[in-house]
Amino acid sequence: MPGRLGGKVALITGATGGIGRATAELFAREDAHLVVTDISQDTTDEFAACLKAGGTDALAIRLDVSSPESWSDAIELARRRFGRLDVLVNIAGVVEWPGIEETTKDGWDRVVAVNQTGTWLGMKTAMPLLRASGNASVINTSSVLGLVGSGAAAAYQATKGAVRLLTKTAAVEYATRGVRVNSVHPGVITTPMIQELLDEQGDRQPDIVRTPMRRAGSPAEVAAMMLFLAGDESSFVTGAEFVVDGGLTAH
């Protein structure tokens, strides 16, 4: 029997990172055709080769999500290869930890360019192909820090809050045009982005202490939510936010 994404073409940004890699690998097991993208061509090529070795039809593309030209090239390459696009998963992101006064203008601009502008550019550029699908899904990766304050990471929090509302307005705009748009909000997840903190503090890491389940999540647990939103099981779901945080934002 075909998998849950059989016949669908999915483009994933940040595909070689923790959540991106787990999502691509899960989508591959569910029979999706994959466009895997990241900022490093070599790393992206290596990952696509691994997917192909497992029988997945995968295309590797170097993508700078902050660049309109890079997005245009990526979407055109995907169109030429597969002729369609059914799923866009915006995962690529960067973080800087300083608060309001310590954040520099350069640091602010870098985080906004990748996390916020990159998400908008992805939707803007991919939307004609997604609309042509007639049954498409966009999944934007926000964060629990797009829902609640932390007293730090000012630029990161600002962008993740923006992604949450950008998702909702896109969902309304395209609700009758064949494209669903939802956001996923991971909590503390064992990804390279926060691995140094986890290595230093382990279960004493403050956000883990505040998490009712008393542990960090795995990228695979976030990928499972991505799969639900990519597939037809979520056909009446749009404009919603899905929190994967072990209960962190429940209190």
With contact defined as beta carbons under 8 Å apart, do 91 and 10 qualify? Answer: no
Q: For 139, phi and psi rounded to 5 degrees?
A: -125, 115
Bridge-based pairing state of the strands 136-141 and 58-62: unpaired
Q: Measure the CA–CA gap between 36 and 82, rounded to whole angstroms.
A: 13
Q: What structural domains does the chain harbor?
A: 9-238 (3.40.50.720)
pLDDT, tens only, 130-158: 999 999 999 999 999 999 999 999 999 99
156 is catalytic: yes
- The pLDDT, as a whole number, for residue 177 is 98
Reference 13, options 98, 139, 130, 108; nearest CA is: 139
**What per-residue confidence (pLDDT) applies to 196?**
66
Q: Which of 47, 71, 156, 174 is catalytic?
A: 156
pLDDT value at residue 145: 96
- Whether residue 198 is predicted with pLDDT greater than 70 in this model: the reply is no
Q: At 177, is the secondary structure helix, strand, or coil?
A: coil
Tell me the C-alpha distance between 140 and 118, whole Å: 10
CB atoms closer than 10 angstroms to residue 61: 23
Beta strands per DSSP E along 39-152: 58-62, 87-90, 136-141
User: Which pair of structure tokens corresponds to residue 46?
Assistant: 């290596």
pLDDT-derived band at 191, boundaries 50, 70, 90: confident
Q: Can you give the pLDDT at residue 251?
A: 87
pLDDT in tens, 41-85: 999 999 999 999 999 999 999 999 999 999 999 999 999 999 999
pLDDT in tens, 90-145: 999 999 999 999 999 999 999 999 999 999 999 999 999 999 999 999 999 999 99
